[in-house]
Every structure is written in structure tokens, then in C-alpha cells.
């Protein structure tokens, strides 16, 4: 697996002044996925938005990791319900015409 498609966690933390312990917390709560390549830890670029969102929740709003984990589960559930509602509405419009 090539590392060029990933961002090295240590470099990200250094450049954004994000504590590496915060990344450890994210991994403990399974909020992000990382890849180990040649004894270094990498994250996919699309996960950076999630890391930054969670960091802002913790730092700006003072929400602890347990609270953020609960919020993430609720947001995922709402998104699934919205998708299901859209699907059902689309099906219903077929029968209305």
C-alpha cells in the first residue's frame, strides 16, 4: 500500500497543532480509521474533515469524547432516517401519478 494517498498523522498534528493524544482518543472510540505503513500512522484525506469537526466540538464547545461519540451515533441515525424517508417519498410519488 502506498503512503502517497494518505496523510501522516504526526505531520498533520505538527502542522495543525493538534495533540497526538487527541488522535489516540479518536482511535480509542473508533471514530476514524488509520493505516500503518512502514511503522508510521496515516489517515485518508477525507477523514481530515471529521477530525477537525470533532476537534472543534471538543475544544470550542467543551464536549467530552463520550458526548461526541453519542452525537456521532445520533447524526448517523438521523442521516439513515433521512435517506429512508427520501426513498419512501420517491416510491410514493410513483403511485400518486
**For the chain, domain boundaries:** 3-96
Mean pLDDT over all residues of the chain? 92
- pLDDT of 96: 80
Residue 35: which H helix or E strand, with range? strand 34-37
Position 1 confidence tier, pLDDT thresholds 50, 70, 90: low
- pLDDT of 95: 82
Percent pLDDT > 90 in the chain is 86
pTM: 0.75
pLDDT digit string, tens, across residues 60-89: 999 999 999 999 999 999 999 999 999 999
The partner residues of 42 in beta bridges, in order of sequence, read 8, 35
Class of domain 3-96: mainly alpha
Amino acid at each position: 500500500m502506498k503512503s502517497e494517498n494518505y496523510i501522516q498523522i504526526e505531520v498533520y498534528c505538527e502542522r495543525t497543532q493538534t495533540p497526538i493524544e487527541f488522535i489516540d482518543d479518536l482511535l480509542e472510540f473508533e471514530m476514524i480509521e488509520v493505516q500503518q505503513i512502514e511503522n508510521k500512522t496515516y489517515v485518508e484525506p477525507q477523514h481530515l474533515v471529521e477530525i477537525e469537526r470533532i476537534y472543534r466540538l471538543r475544544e470550542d464547545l467543551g464536549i467530552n469524547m463520550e458526548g461526541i461519540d453519542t452525537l456521532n451515533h445520533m447524526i448517523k441515525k438521523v442521516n439513515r432516517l433521512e435517506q429512508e424517508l427520501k426513498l419512501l417519498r420517491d416510491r410514493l410519488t410513483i403511485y400518486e401519478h
